[in-house]
Structure 1
Amino acid sequence: MRVLLTGSTGWLGRYLAPMLRAAGHEVTGLDVAPGPDTQVVGTVADRALVERTMLSHGIEGVIHAGALHKPDIVRYPRQSFVDVNVTGTLNLLEEAAAAGVERFVFTSTTSLMITQAIRDETASEAVWLDETSGPLQPRNVYGITKRSAEEMCRLVQSETGMPVVVLRTARFFPEDDDTHRALSGENMKANEFLNRRLTVEDCAAAHVAALDKAPAVGFGLYVVSAPTPFARVDVAQLKSDAPGVIARYFPDAAQVYADCGWQLPSSIGRVYDASLIERDLGFRCRTDFATILAALRDGKTLPFEHDPNYTSPAQQNSFLACD
């Protein structure tokens, strides 16, 4: 299949492009920053460019992974988020439908599910988050524009019948968290595999699976995160005594962490449930907290990327980010 991949120079794109080719697809990359997997340099906000690319490359499937992200809030005005994340998505959807594209996958974010109250962890128990969670009240322009783009996907699919799958991806960025500095970056990332993280490789694999299954789904929206070991009955204790809950599932976790000089979370305020994508599409992330713990226990390389100095190629090249 001839696939248009937006955000092809970005963190996800650099893993997704070769994975698509390995699956037998012909990939055309579109990004504002040049890169080895980017054949078209430009922005999805340029409708004419999107149309030309779609037609000249005979595109049959689209994976729209390009966007302005949460760290870009300090660099770009809100209008830029609307132009790229909303108008750009609409451009792709409508031009894809007009060109007879067979399937469309949109990279969204679990961030749009996090209200300010969830972010502040004001509840007495952990918040269990899945595709039915709401009401949705995104707390910043990134989340608002991603939520709007999701609804554009739903609207165009219902009007045209073009199969569309929306993936609300959990954290997979390599850099340190820009709001939490209490733990080392690797310790923080490892902890998040309990409730709100996945590897970039698993994220890419989820997109390939969604592209494959889209015609059977019609329209689908899925949370994509490493499978949590927890159950809904754990939410109260997760908030008050996370180590106690973790010990039930992983009896040696505290000792393994202590041997590494690491800390388990004392409290967990939210849990992402990614079970629906496994039921509907047969996709399950390969790396979970058990994998992390096994690597620590055996002294092996951690199975996730950590780069505290990572900056996007678009930022490095002073382009309007689209990755």
Structure 2
Amino acid sequence: MRILLTGSSGWLGRFLAPMLRGAGHQVVGLDVAPGVDTNVLGSVADRALVERVFAEHGVEAVIHAGGLHKPDIVRYPAQTFVDVNVAGTLNLLECAKAAGHDRFVFTSTTSLMISQAIRDEAGESAVWLDEASGPIAPRNIYGVTKLAAEGLCRIAWAEQGLATIVLRTGRFFPEDDDTHATPSGENLKANELLHRRLTVEDAARAHLVALERAPAIGHGVFVISAPTPFARADCAALKQDAAAVIARAFPDAPALYAARGWTLPASIGRVYDSSLAERVLGFRCATDFAAVLAALRAGAPLPFAHDPFYVSPKETLG
């Protein structure tokens, strides 16, 4: 198929575009910043541009991975989030339906599931989060606009029959966390593979599976994160003494971490459950916390990307 990939110059796009071509698809990349996989420069908020891309490139399916993200809150006004994340998604959905498409994949975020109360982690137990969790109360404009875009995908299926798969991805950015300096970036990413992170390669693979499975599923919302070793019954213990829970599941983790100068998390406040994606979508992340420990035992490279100097291509344009 000829796939329109938005966000083709971004972190996910640079991994997803080659995977799509490897699966036999042609990729039409759309982004506001130039990149090796970007054919068209422009914004999804520009309806005329989106219509022209569909007409000139014979687009047959859409993976909508572009948009503004949480770190962009300090750089762009709320209206720009609405224009890009909401109106831009609507532009793509309406053009896809007009073109007679039978599938649409949307990159959403687990961030929209995190209310201020969940973020504050004031409870006595970790919060177990899956697709049924709610009520959903996003804490910022990023989450609000992503949730609105998810709603547009849902009604595109309900009212127009366009199969839409929404992937609420956990963290896979390569740069350091913009709100936490301790522990170190690599240490934090390793810890997060226990409960809220995945690799960018797994994120890209999830989109390929969603593209294939969309017509059979119709509409679905799926949390995409590395499989957690925890169970709901662990939530209280995870909040009180996460390191002890981890050591029971992975007895050599404390020693492996100590040898590298890392620390296990003392407390975990939330856990993403991606089991629905495995059962219904047929997707499971290949890289998990056990892979981190295997790399530490072998003295091998860590199985995830870490680049503290990464800057989004759209920001390098000034």
1:288 is matched with 288
Post-superposition shift, 1:30?
0.3
Structure 2: 5+ residue runs without aligned partners?
A: none
Q: What do residues 50-94 of structure 1 show as CA deviations (whole Å, max 9, x unaligned)?
A: 111112211111000000001110001000000000000000001
1:10 is matched with 10
Q: How does 1:245-264 map to 2 (within 5 A)?
A: 245-264=245-264
Q: Which runs of 4+ in 1 moved over 2 A?
A: none
1:167 correspondence with 2:191:
no
1:198 correspondence with 2:198:
yes
Q: What do residues 257-280 of structure 1 show as CA deviations (whole Å, max 9, x unaligned)?
A: 011110000000000000001001
1:228 correspondence with 2:228:
yes
Whole-angstrom CA distance in 2 between matches of 1:53 and 1:291: 41
SS at match of 1:241: helix
Aligned letter for 1:162?
A: L
Q: How does 1:151-190 map to 2 (within 5 A)?
A: 151-190=151-190
User: Under a length normalisation based on structure 2, what TM-score does the superposition of the two structures give?
Assistant: 0.99
1:47 correspondence with 2:52:
no
2:304 is matched with 304
Whole-angstrom CA distance in 2 between matches of 1:257 and 1:36: 38
1:129 correspondence with 2:144:
no
Whole-angstrom CA distance in 2 between matches of 1:160 and 1:34: 33
Whole-angstrom CA distance in 2 between matches of 1:290 and 1:54: 43
Whole-angstrom CA distance in 2 between matches of 1:172 and 1:142: 17
Aligned letter for 1:142?
A: Y
1:19 correspondence with 2:5:
no
SS at match of 2:168: strand
Q: What do residues 195-215 of structure 1 show as CA deviations (whole Å, max 9, x unaligned)?
A: 000000000000000000000
Q: What do residues 8-36 of structure 1 show as CA deviations (whole Å, max 9, x unaligned)?
A: 00000000000000001010000000111
SS at match of 1:168: strand
% same residue:
70
Aligned letter for 1:66?
A: G
Whole-angstrom CA distance in 1 between matches of 2:24 and 2:274: 27
Post-superposition shift, 1:102?
2.0
SS at match of 2:50: helix
Structure 1: 5+ residue runs without aligned partners?
A: 319-323
Whole-angstrom CA distance in 1 between matches of 2:59 and 2:123: 47
2:81 is matched with 81
1:211 is matched with 211
Paired residues in the alignment total 318
1:94 is matched with 94
Aligned letter for 2:213?
A: K
Q: How does 1:238-249 map to 2 (within 5 A)?
A: 238-249=238-249
